[in-house]
Amino acid sequence: MFYSTVFQECMMWLCSGDPEAHGDLILIILLSLILLLDTNGISDRLKYKEHIDSMQAHYADLLWKYLKFKHGYKASALFHKALMFSNTLQEAYEITQKRLPI
């Protein structure tokens, strides 16, 4: 149930709230790069953490600029939602790890 909600939220964000839209490849790529470079939970094992964090911040900045260009006044809400995906996915992972085996 939780995963389907996360998936639906992600799809709605990619469609920027328009259910008729098919998503935006630039949004998908930028969000994927931001999530890929998320060091939450593994930062103590990384050799070049500062460099990775810098790259993630760069892609987050690109996402912000793209959202401002594409969506204007809705950019802040969309950007916040994008950054919250990392936390939501981390929560989903933790739930999975704590789930009892079937």
pLDDT tens sequence across 46-100: 788 888 889 999 999 999 999 899 888 888 988 888 888 777 777 777 777 776 5
Percent of the chain with pLDDT over 90: 14
pLDDT in tens, 64-77: 999 899 888 888 98
Q: Which structure tokens are listed for 28? A: 């998908």
**Would you place residue 18 in the very low, low, confident or very high pLDDT band (cuts 50, 70, 90)?**
low
From the list 38, 60, 34, the residue with the least C-alpha distance to 49 is 38
The structural domains of the chain, with segments of one domain joined by +, span 2-98
H or E element at residue 84: helix 75-98
pTM of the full structure = 0.74
Rounded to whole angstroms, the Cα distance separating 58 from 41 reads 20
